[in-house]
Chain A
Amino acid sequence: MENTLLDIKNLKVWYRTYKGYAKVVDGINLFVNKGEKVGLVGESGCGKTTTMKTVLRVLDSKVATVPEGEILFKNRDILKMKYNELQQVRKQSISMISQEPTAALNPVFTVGSQIMDIIRYSEQYKDYSKSEMLSLAVKTIKDVLIPDPERILNSYPHQLSGGMKQRICIAMALVTPRELLIADEPGTALDVTVQDQIHKLLKALVEEKKMSLIMITHSLGVARELSDRIYVMYAGNIVEVAQTKELFKNPLHPYTLGLMECVPRLYGGGISEGIYGYIPDYINPPAGCRFYPRCPSAMEICEKEKPPTVSVSEDHKVACFKYH
């Protein structure tokens, strides 16, 4: 499709472990249109970060392998790109905000030096003079609503608060124009009010710059606020996808229903009372539906066979035998 920016097809990502392959991402399909904001929702450990780091190919290739799948960016497969072509995508097309702002900043360089490096090695601004680069950095810092940008640029990460570091990470992702922004749970580590500010800021900036957005989050509530369309992910599978309105009006998959029932807990096991149990073991995952061990409406067939993804209406798909 002309309008499609990113199209992930049947992507599998496995990690090598000493006990065997952890088959984390299990054949997912996900696309993002130009200017579209997409939510990717699922509980901790379901493979959201793994999927998106594969898009930029930043996982350690000694540990992570991609046995199958395509990641088409403007119809070119990122997984097959040569180094130079891949660098072009990284430099000017896609940027990703890390899940952990504290770990994402190098402790021994100033914030300014880290932002300047992104500018210096970008495609658009590599010929800028030093002072032009600096004023661009200052402007970007202002954009993320940080007062006193000059002081912040000269600070080291450990001198800044968590919320500040999160804003810096957003600034880094937006300092050069990009077509697609992947935001990996920005604000999870922050208190609720700051988190809310960060989300509003992100939404405003993405809309202003007419970028596409993939918003990764644990919470359907956050996804509802920030996205046009929502993918629900469970244990490396996309279990349901629909327009935001449609999903909230007519949730189908038992896992989505569980998520709707209550606000998910961020870390640890089950999702509150909604769904009992834990994410399955990825080294020996369930043979059939990966949700089977926790599913309140499980049937006999679910144990042995994988539920195929079926369309229930235009744009609304679900992978569950209940709707087969």
Chain B
Amino acid sequence: MLKYIIKRLFQGIFVVIGISILIFIISRVVPGDPARMALGPRAPQFAVDELRKEMNLDKPLPVQYYYWFKGVIKGDFGKSLNTKRPVITDVKEFLPATLELALLSGFLFIIFATIIGLLSAQYRDTWVDGLTRILSYVGIAIPSFVVAVLLLLIFGYLWPVIPTLGRLSSNITPPPTITGLITVDSLITGNFAAFFDALKHLILPAIALAIGPLFQEARILRSALIDNINKEYISVVTGYGLPKGVIMRKHLLKPSFIPVVSVMGLDFASLMGNAFLVESIFNWPGLSRYGINAMLNKDLNAISAVIIIYGVIFLIVNIIVDLIIAWLDPRIRLGGE
């Protein structure tokens, strides 16, 4: 098992290096001199040349990459053209908001996909199954930013019961930054007013992001459950008189969950991508919205940072998914067959 984890980590490191080389090349290929861009068009040439030396831009490309990557590892992505601050400062400010949103969204789709999948398998071919089938066609077909706009329309204009913009209402004192996740920080400091207010702000964008993956996974779980329900091992435990619920939740759910977990991992990754639009719609001060602004402003350092950070997050999610699958399926964990 340990060997397996180490192997996955090594693979992950190589993928990160690959991504970083790609980004480095792209950022050097685009026209424009980074030193000139950093200093502005009116700076004197000698200052630019000096900075070029300082930034190692006068060295050959592989050497430049070496210095650049060394900086990246230490969290030094350079300055943002846009905010005029070090990119890492921006990242520290905006990443927690995106993580908080993504985590809640992931939590929502894991829980509800499981419940809906179980219900529609247990009551297959009844109205329960039919209803979830229709809902899932709708949920899968509508992109998350459309759901976001619809939610904004409903709860922002028609029936304004939930706040629709930002992370926290202006009349609430924010908790001190510990993790950067407002809900967690307010819970740690016992500030329940802030907790509920933050949760209210989170819920709509989280739902917008969760709805597509949720129904897709519920359908996959349903068909995996129905495939396995006719397996001999289920007929065997039924014959031994195990309670229906135990068979459903234990003997049937665990093997059926294996295909769903891989999809959940992929969905979590594409959820970070979808967050680009959803964050903009809900004015959510997250890293995805920051990335969009960086792109619109050709802010190369910021773009590189966002891409590398998302790459690392994908990798971590992938490793977690692999670990969960290995835990669920002993044939993978222990080899053989």
Measuring CB to CB, which residues of chain A are less than 8 angstroms from any residue of chain B? 53, 56, 58-60, 87-92, 95-96, 98, 100, 103-110, 114, 117-118, 121-122, 156, 158-159, 172
Contact = CB atoms under 8 A, between A and B. Distances in A.
Interface residues of B, number: 27
A303 B37 CA distance: 97
B241 interface: yes
Most chain A Cβ neighbours within 10 Å, of B230, B232, B236, B238: B236
A91 B232 CA distance: 18
Given A60-B230, A90-B240, A95-B240, A106 B331 contact: no
A98 B329 CA distance: 23
B242 interface: yes
Nearest to B124: A62
A105 B246 CA distance: 16
Interface string B233-259: 101111111110010001100110010
B240 A158 contact: no
Given A90-B241, A158-B336, 18 more contacts: A56-B239, A58-B235, A60-B229, A87-B243, A90-B239, A91-B240, A91-B241, A96-B239, A98-B232, A103-B233, A104-B232, A104-B236, A107-B255, A107-B331, A109-B254, A122-B241, A159-B334, A159-B336
A176 to B, nearest CB: 9
A103 B233 CA distance: 6
Nearest to B254: A108
Contacts of B239: 53, 56, 58, 90, 95-96
A98 B255 contact: no
B240 A103 contact: no
Contact of A117 (B231, B232, B242): B242
B233 A104 contact: yes
Contacts of A100: 232
Contact of B240 (A105, A110, A172): A172
27 contacts: A53-B239, A56-B239, A60-B229, A87-B241, A87-B243, A88-B241, A90-B239, A90-B240, A96-B236, A96-B239, A100-B232, A103-B232, A104-B232, A105-B233, A106-B251, A107-B329, A107-B331, A108-B329, A117-B240, A117-B246, A118-B240, A121-B242, A121-B246, A122-B240, A156-B334, A158-B331, A158-B337
A59 B230 CA distance: 9
A19 B147 CA distance: 45
B73 to A, nearest CB: 39
